[in-house]
Structure 1
Amino acid sequence: MSIILVTGGTGLVGKAIQHVIETEPEGSRFGKKPGEKWIFVSSSEADLRDTEQTKRLFEKYKPTHVIHLAAIVGGLYINMKCKLTFLRDNILINDNVLHTAHLTGTQKVISCLSTCVFPDKVTYPLDETKIHLGLPHESNFGYSHAKRLVDVQNRAYKDQFGCNFTSAIPTSIFGPHDNFNLESAHVIPALIHKCYLAQNNGTPFIVGGSGKPLRQFIYSRDLAKLFIWQLREYDDVEPVILSVGEDQEVSVKELTDAIVKAMNYKGEYILDTTQADGQFRKPASNKKLLSLMGEFRFTPFDEALQDTVQWFLNNYENARTGARGT
């Protein structure tokens, strides 16, 4: 029996993995395999910043494998505001999960990083060899350093104890079950929620920044399949970028236009250039990923965005919008 524990299991990526495991054909490359038990846990079951609660969680489920998604996360503005919180809380979470996995003999751990771990001043496209070549962007250096340390920890655990710990580096993720709270959301859910409020309330739709920054977006359910592949088929401490190709960059302006279309918004929007843009671009290469796993069909961006918008509209009352303390 393989027992796969997914921390952060009720968040954006955790819900996507659960969806894929439950909907893909059983026994298929991304579907549930015979002898597998998947457990998706949230912070309500254990505060992973606390060592004892982390130990009790592992004692309860006795995982053989862990997909470690739990983190304190947020968009540009909350990152800029709470750099120490993002640094310290994530260091505590990651250290507790990795050390407890080592102490309990967990066979494999995959941790989720982010392309923000890469240096701000570096040649593009980003690839897995460039993580430690310079300082990350100032706007999110707390979160970035905490996530970058996971790669250091993975290598140290492998070197000293032979642990099979590795990590994934996704680009900007979006999809159903995202965080749409305007205080902490990433760019896509924030813009979807802002557009919704502007349309419903007849208020201005204001987009922060110039609209010029570029991002690679990956649909959460595509990313879920890549995590499942990495869990089953990849055993190396070196991280893997999980992303669409670097030729798939989308500007914030193009993104806003796509959201306006998907939501059938009839008004105009305002680009507020007094607000920060953050890092201008950080294109990442997925050549290593595709060389290892072969062909993979990514969901077309417009189709994935439409699915996300529809989920938000259908689930607004229960979505994480912050409006009702969720």
Structure 2
Amino acid sequence: MEKNAKIYVAGHRGMVGSAIYRKLIATGYTNVITRSSSELDLRNQQDVIDFFESEKPEYVFLAAAKVGGIVANNTYRADFLYENLCIQNNVIQQAHKAGVKKLMFLGSSCIYPKLAPQPLKEEYLLTGLLEETNEPYAIAKIAGIKMADAYRAQYGCNFISVMPTNLYGYNDNYHPQNSHVLPALIRKFHEAKVNGSPEVTIWGSGSPMREFLFADDLADACYFLMQNFNEAGFVNIGTGHDLTIKDLALLIKKIIGFEGALIFDSSKPDGTPRKLMDVSKLNALGWKHKIELEEGIQLAYKDFLAKHI
């Protein structure tokens, strides 16, 4: 990507899109364009047609999506399927029509079968049934990957797809009910420390294992793959390492300085036992994560203190 190329980052206000935007600016790109959802409704076909015809971006990072936790995914099943299909259908089709040189579509780890072997290899896609609670979102993301491949096969478009693991970092969501496990624990331990609580209760047994990637590392990987990957299919992006929720909680407890006890509420669901990414394809291409978990949590906690306290 030339430094003066016109690059459109869709979803630049989210955690992922904002990290990609920061990476491009820091690397010296001078013509990065964005639109907030109030300025451009990506679900509206005519609005997207008008945008691509007037702006004519040369490169596109498609990081815009309707996202949420397990409750939102399961409650608004029709909305998650319809709106995500609309967003990606409109952007991918118009990127083709406008002659975009390259587009990157970002998926989600929920695309893999619920009972896929560990670690998750790219070829496990569509080899089994999906997790029921987030099936509509997963179906939309799988459709996006297949759509990028179909435009490559039929029209010769250089459209690629990537599949990030669990993410955290700057501009994360710390909502008490709707946030993911890592930011939820940061908030929970911080509030317990401030309030002098004797203990913190954590959902589940603490035994499920999860992998976490700092969002700025994801942005670095996305930038790297835009320069170096030009194939059908998709690439997993992660660290290739995971830890138990209990060990994650102990690490966050240490970083925040909470002195109380941990209580695990086994009456609450654990979710999938393990979701570890196989990142051998990405590593073989020449990219590896830089920010280890402890350093990343320290950075995320500083961001939480700056924006939410």
Give the structure 1 partner of residue 67 of structure 2.
73
The Cα of 1:266 is off from its aligned counterpart by 2.3
- When residues 205 and 111 of structure 1 are mapped into structure 2, their CA distance, relative to the original with a 3 A threshold, is same
Give the structure 2 partner of residue 322 of structure 1.
none
Query: 8 Å contact 1:78–1:183 — kept in the other structure?
Result: no
Give the structure 2 partner of residue 231 of structure 1.
226
| Identity across the alignment (%) | 34
Deviation by residue 1:23-77 (Cα, 9 ceiling, x = unmatched): 3xxxxxxx235xx522233323212111122223323432111000001112233
Query: 8 Å contact 2:221–2:287 — kept in the other structure?
Result: no
Give the structure 2 partner of residue 58 of structure 1.
52
Equivalent runs, 1:240-279 vs 2, <5 Å: 240-245=235-240, 248-279=241-272
Q: Distance in 2 between matches of 1:66 and 1:243?
A: 22
Unaligned 5+ residue runs, structure 1? Answer: 24-30, 318-326
Give the structure 2 partner of residue 38 of structure 1.
32
Q: Distance in 2 between matches of 1:176 and 1:15?
A: 9
Give the structure 2 partner of residue 27 of structure 1.
none
Deviation by residue 1:117-156 (Cα, 9 ceiling, x = unmatched): 0111222221111111112112311111111111111121
The Cα of 1:228 is off from its aligned counterpart by 0.5
Match of 1:298 among 290, 293, 305: 290
Match of 1:117 among 111, 119, 122: 111
The Cα of 1:227 is off from its aligned counterpart by 0.5
Give the structure 1 partner of residue 19 of structure 2.
16
Deviation by residue 1:189-210 (Cα, 9 ceiling, x = unmatched): 1221222333334566332222
The Cα of 1:100 is off from its aligned counterpart by 1.4
Query: 8 Å contact 1:242–1:286 — kept in the other structure?
Result: yes
The Cα of 1:168 is off from its aligned counterpart by 0.5
Query: 8 Å contact 2:282–2:288 — kept in the other structure?
Result: no
Query: 8 Å contact 1:10–1:41 — kept in the other structure?
Result: no
Query: 8 Å contact 2:237–2:279 — kept in the other structure?
Result: yes
The Cα of 1:81 is off from its aligned counterpart by 2.8
Query: 8 Å contact 2:105–2:148 — kept in the other structure?
Result: no
Q: Distance in 2 between matches of 1:60 and 1:43?
A: 17
Q: Distance in 1 between matches of 2:122 and 2:62?
A: 19
Matched, 1:2 2:5: yes
Query: 8 Å contact 1:75–1:187 — kept in the other structure?
Result: no
Give the structure 2 partner of residue 208 of structure 1.
203
Q: Distance in 1 between matches of 2:35 and 2:258?
A: 37
Give the structure 1 partner of residue 276 of structure 2.
283
The Cα of 1:311 is off from its aligned counterpart by 1.0
Unaligned 5+ residue runs, structure 2? Answer: none
SS of aligned partner of 1:308: helix
Q: Distance in 1 between matches of 2:162 and 2:14?
A: 17
Give the structure 2 partner of residue 311 of structure 1.
303
SS of aligned partner of 1:129: helix
Query: 8 Å contact 1:215–1:282 — kept in the other structure?
Result: yes
Query: 8 Å contact 2:186–2:301 — kept in the other structure?
Result: yes
Q: Distance in 2 between matches of 1:257 and 1:17?
A: 30
Query: 8 Å contact 1:214–1:252 — kept in the other structure?
Result: yes
SS of aligned partner of 1:2: coil
Match of 2:98 among 92, 104, 116: 104
Give the structure 2 partner of residue 157 of structure 1.
151
Deviation by residue 1:293-316 (Cα, 9 ceiling, x = unmatched): x25352111001111011101221
Give the structure 1 partner of residue 212 of structure 2.
217
Q: Distance in 2 between matches of 1:194 and 1:131?
A: 35
SS of aligned partner of 2:105: strand
The Cα of 1:275 is off from its aligned counterpart by 2.2
Give the structure 1 partner of residue 184 of structure 2.
190
Q: Distance in 2 between matches of 1:239 and 1:192?
A: 32
Q: Distance in 2 between matches of 1:59 and 1:187?
A: 41
Query: 8 Å contact 1:206–1:269 — kept in the other structure?
Result: yes
Q: Distance in 2 between matches of 1:270 and 1:89?
A: 39
